[in-house]
Structure 1
Amino acid sequence: MGDTLGRVDPAQALVLYQEGLAIRRKLAAQEPGNTAFQRDLSVSLERMGDTLGRVDPAQALTLYQEGLAIRRKLVAQEPGNKAFQRDLSISLNKIGDTLGRSDPAQALALYQEGLAIRRKLAVQEPGNTAFQSDLSVSLDRIGDTLGRSDPVQALALYQEGLAIRRKLAAQEPGNIEFQRDLSVSLDRMGDTLGPSDPAQALVLYHEGLAIARKLAAQEPGNIEFQTDLIVSLVRLAFAGERPEKHYSEALAILSDLNARGLLSADQSTWVPAVTAKLAEFYGSQAYEALFDKDFTGAEQRANAGLGLDARLDWIKSNLAHALMFQNRIAEADAIYLGLRGTAVQGKPWEQLIEEDFKALRDKNIQHPHMAEIEAAFRKRR
């Protein structure tokens, strides 16, 4: 019941897990030599830790560590028991995840210990898809941890994990989790290759997006699949691949999920973040349109950006320029003169406008009103 309620009613799930934990503690205490009872206790501790992870990470860590101690003991008692070995690798990863930000060195050590176990299990049973999937997860964990300090090694780990996941997805095309894991690996590889091989990164992002779209369409009620799709769209947009299309689609999905209260507190912050990215794209497009002498297009782009985030005053400068070049002087002046004395992007508004005018003049794009605005700025100083 707790597993079923975990996402829809975590508070009630926690109550059920606590009740189950109390029972399993009692049974384990009554028969400390009963390995089944000990293993059950470790599972309950893990479930509790998972439920508390976001709200009380310190308590979650304590529960995970207690479970780890039990699992280390079980493995020592029965080193040939593969289920106990797998359980131990899960505990190592759980604690590594919890320590990831506060103690990355210790997290890496735990991930490496878990990887060693999973390599051994995967070699022992190459046809066991669960063991192969577990191995790919461990490779990703270490790749993530090494990403900044050793990108070459991280790439090698991601490549190994991707190869495993391609094979699993091909073996079981109907396995949704294997398909999702493959899309995650494609995205990670794309992120790692982005700086050195942007073209290949885009190929990987597109492949990952195709999978994410398919999964989101198959299970429209699965929030994880919907947010995976959002992440894939944003990755492509951020990489410069049709930003307007991809940011807009991501924002539409996000806004719908947010309106229905289906996003976590952290995910709800994605809405303003993606909105800002799309607004900034429109603002940049407006600036570029000025240099193409497409002043109507510049106005339209600037208004689109400001419609998403009216606080972006630097976009208002592009709108003012577009209006001026269309000889709508009164509208332009309302912006040019209305924002005098303010700071935009860390510099005085007047300086921003004067720098824009210089850049435009350097491309032989001029208007008589430029000098009048500059004179008005000097008079105010």
Structure 2
Amino acid sequence: MKKITFLILCVFPTMMRAQSPCVQEYKGEVTLFSGKGKGLAGIPVIIDGNQGSPTDANGIFRYRLSKCPGMSVRIKVSSENYAIVNHIETGSYTLRKLADPSDFQFALLLAPARQVEQDRVAYYTTLAGVALDRNLTLQKGRIDELEKLLKSQQQKNEGVIDSLASLRSRYEQVLGEREKRLNDAKSMAVVFAQHTEVDSSYQKAFGLYKEGQFQAALAQLSDNRMQSEKKRFQSKLGLAKQLEAEALQEQAFYINKCVFKATIYRSLNESNKAGEWYREAVLTDTTQATNLITYADYLLKINQLGEPEVWFRKALALNPPDVGKGAILEGLGIYYTDHNRPKEAEVSLLESKRVREKLAWTNPDQYEPDLAVTLHSLGYFYAVMNRSQESEAVFLQAKELRQKQAKRDPDKYEPNLASALNALAGTYFNTNQKAKAETVSLQAKVLLEKLVRQNVNQQNEHELAITLSNLGSIYSTTSRFAEAEVVTLQAKAIWEKLVEKNPGEYGPYLVHMLNNMGEAYLENNRLKETETTLLQARALLEKLLQKDPEQFEPQLAKTMVRLGDYFSRVSQLKEAQTAYAQVEEICKRLAKQNFDEYGPWLTSILHKRGSISTGQEQIDFFRKAVSAQQQVVSQLKNRSSDSLSLAKQLGDLAYESLFSKQFAQAQATAQEGLMLAPGEEWIQANLALAYLLQGKLEQAKAIYGTLKDKPYESDTFKKVFLGDLADLEKAGITHPDMAIIRQLLN
């Protein structure tokens, strides 16, 4: 029997091949990505290493394959001028069973090779957004099915009710975070655009991801399957050299799946899982700069202390191309700025600017948006450092770039232009150029109101609320209180609406707004509005703290400071001390992790507690404030060469020393601060008081006479001087010559 079977197979091989159902001609189409469906002629298409005929005048090609539907093929094009945009879908393409054999099996999107990276990001950005919306549709469909099932049941099933409640909760959460996830789509798109090694299981997961079936996509990338692949390529890496190339390719497949899996978890807002798989990707092969940058950027966005610098540095050590180098240096600059390392921040940001300027010169359309991002970060750094002229110049340059980009592609870049206008307005405001700040903020307001009318999304509304809030600050500091209140309440209403959809994202902005409103109401003696506003802020924070205490504790401290100030104003001193005591405990806790930021807070709150105390308790609080501020100064001297920051802290130490009656120390520290930063004229106010309280009247009069009519913030130094005299007298610190100084000032 076996022998006969063998003979039959040998006698009729041709007939058996003719009967094979899988040998057929497939048809495909090659179009230009930015050409609105325009076919590209003369493009040779390569499938599984074999080149077919070039595309015809309409971009159509035909290919004869002996593979069945469900099998995979690898598709490339043989062209120096063009590259494939949808390369993940073609890198490992699974043949489909066509209802009509004349239908297109393949659809290749091409872009000029010089701009393929940019077009890939644009393509996958759109695709990631579509995937998110399809996922929402699938979730809504499951909810509808369960609701119908419940209605049809005479006796309600508790399991179905619980499942429905859980699904509804998850759907509302994802819906509320939709805009944030869409904003993350570009980050995801960059991940997809960078993946050049994909296999069939990646391609299957990608197909499910496109349809919004995130859980099904994760099933294709299950932990067990991933671990099995890892063991397989690791074992092959240990075999003979001939297997090394295959193992390395499988390793590349695995790494790209890890990054893809992290991307899906980001879509699901599961940051811990996303971090795990990003880390797995970079630890599997620490020589891939692109993945290191992706991981470091992710850690930077979630504000992971210390970690972003480590991974950015590792990526930089691999000497990546200038595109990657510009991103690394900008990320490091942001990290150093946020962690009070100004010299390193400036060096990194200026080098990022230099690298991206060189790239923009070669291809403006592709690289000028990246240059604008670096300029924004550099402008922010200069603003933090109070280097106003440099901040203004850089933000102006960023604005001009964004205007150019918005003119070319309004839908894509007008939101970026609005952000650039807000940044420039902030610089004008901080340098007391209120008229310019107002003009630029109004330009941003008009643009954002148009964007919101055209496309009501959370990001546009959020940026509009920022603009309105900025206008409120401008109007308030120019004594236009009625106008300030109108725009501030408009911003508050927008953020209240956004907080309902996504409290974690927009809650901090609403709390910040409420704190500022409470402070403004208190300054204008509108005590009822002060209490109502600050209690609203506290109530919101109590909810947010349940989800993320680490993020929102600093906000709670700020709110409780203002509540303490309110209670102090209305002579509810017990309640004020309770509020301040809560802030003191928070500051002590936070200072252990970040003393540079929260050490000065502790000084301030101890001073406030002393100012509403009496007798020995008051003396003790003022001494504690001096001790806390001495620690701030000492740490700065030991760890930082930033003379401006040190000068400011010395100025504050001089002020605290006055209240503990250490007048000679106050004089010495004020003089030291002024030697480091002569332009910080406010320190002279403390030096003048130190002279006055030591009986050095002439030196004090010289300072008061010189500065009293000079502008300071929204008023003059005269107001500051009189306020300081009143505060000292309230604390029981007086001198006969104070009357002479008051007469001089008035």
**TM-score after normalising by structure 2:** 0.37
Which blocks of at least 5 consecutive residues in structure 1 are unaligned?
A: 284-301, 315-340, 350-381
In the alignment, which residue of structure 1 is the partner of 2:416?
87
Where 1:20 maps in the other structure, the secondary structure is: helix
Cα displacement (A) at 1:263: 3.4
- Say yes or no: does 1:158 pair with 2:488: yes
- Are the structure 2 counterparts of residues 260 and 96 from structure 1 closer, same or farther at C-alpha, using a change threshold of 3 Å? same
Provide closer, same or farther for how the CA distance between residues 312 and 12 of structure 1 changes in structure 2, counting only shifts above 3 A: closer
Q: In 1, distance between residues paired with 2:407 and 2:370?
A: 17
Identity across aligned pairs (percent)?
Answer: 19
8 Å CA contact 1:158, 1:188 repeated in 2: no
Partner of 1:190: 518
Q: For the residues of structure 2 that align with 1:84 and 1:76, how far apart are their CA atoms?
A: 8
1:8-19 correspondence to structure 2 within 5 Å: 8=339, 12=344, 14-19=346-351
Q: 1:144 to 1:268 in 2, by over 3 A?
A: farther
Aligned to 1:377: none
CA shift, 1:181, in A, is 1.3
| Contact 2:622 2:659 (8 Å CA) reproduced | yes
Larger radius of gyration: 2
1:263 to 572, 577, 596: 596
What's the CA shift for 1:347? 4.4
Q: Find the partner of 1:133 among 459, 462, 480.
A: 462
User: Which residue number in structure 1 is paired with residue 561 of structure 2?
Assistant: 234
Give the residue type in structure 2 aligned to 1:235. Answer: R
1:97·1:107 contact (CA, 8 Å) conserved in 2? yes
Q: Hey, what's the Cα distance between the residues in 1 that align with 2:582 and 2:596?
A: 17
Q: Are the structure 2 counterparts of residues 313 and 31 from structure 1 closer, same or farther at C-alpha, using a change threshold of 3 Å?
A: closer
1:181 pairs with 2:535: no
| Contact 1:179/1:211, CA 8 A, preserved across alignment | yes
Q: Does structure 2 conserve the Cα–Cα contact (< 8 Å) formed by 1:257 and 1:263?
A: no
Matched, 1:41 2:41: no
Which amino acid letter does the alignment assign opposite residue 562 of structure 2?
A: R
Shift of 1:62: 2.1
Q: How much does 1:50 deviate?
A: 2.1
Of the structure 1 ranges 44-53 and 91-100, higher mean CA displacement relative to structure 2 is found in 44-53
Q: Does 1:306 align with 2:619?
A: yes
Shift of 1:220: 4.3
Residue 612 of structure 2: SS of its match in structure 1? helix
**Equivalent position of 1:352 in the other structure:** none
TM-score, length basis structure 1: 0.69
The structural deviation recorded for 1:52 is: 3.4
| 8 Å Cα contact 2:496/2:510 also seen in 1 | yes
Select between 48-57 and 236-245 the one with higher mean Cα deviation. 48-57
| Contact 1:52–1:60 under 8 Å retained in 2 | yes
State the alpha-carbon separation in 2 of the partners of residues 118 and 19 from structure 1: 32
Change (3 A) 1:262 1:211: farther
Higher RCO, 1 or 2 (CA under 8 Å, sep at least 6)? 1
Counterpart position of 1:53: 383
CA deviation after TM superposition for structure 1 residue 191, in Å: 3.0
Q: How far off its partner does 1:12 sit?
A: 4.9
- Closer, same or farther in 2 for the Cα pair 1:274/1:25, shift >3 Å? same
| Corresponding position of 2:580 | 247
Matching residue of 2:363: 31
* 2:353 counterpart (18, 21, 29): 21
Measured in 2, the distance between the counterparts of 1:62 and 1:247 equals: 41
Which residue of the partner structure matches residue 678 of structure 2? none
State the Cα deviation string for residues 202-234 of structure 1 (Å, max 9, x = none): 121011023334445644444xx3332221011
How far apart are 1:94 and its partner, in Å? 1.1
Structure 1 residues 11 and 347 mapped into 2: Cα distance closer, same or farther (>3 Å)?
Answer: closer
2-structure distance, mates of 1:139, 1:189: 13
Partner of residue 168 from structure 1, selected from 477, 489, 498: 498
* Alignment pair present for 1:113 and 2:443: yes
Shift of 1:135: 0.7
Task: Tell me what 1:293 maps to.
Answer: none
Deviation at 1:75, TM superposition (A): 2.5
C-alpha displacement of 1:66 = 1.2
* Secondary structure, aligned partner of 1:100: helix
- Matched to 1:309, the amino acid is F
Distance 1:58 1:214, change over 3 A: farther
8 Å contact kept, 2:622–2:660: no
Residues 263 and 226 of structure 1, relative CA distance in 2, 3 Å threshold: farther
Q: Would the aligned equivalents of 1:155 and 1:192 in 2 still touch at CA under 8 Å?
A: no
Cα-to-partner distance string for 1:322-349 (whole Å, 9 max, x where unaligned): xxxxxxxxxxxxxxxxxxx9x9544459
Matched position secondary structure for 1:37: helix
1:154-201 deviation per Cα after TM superposition (whole angstroms, max 9, x unaligned): 11111111111111111223xx23111121222233234343541232
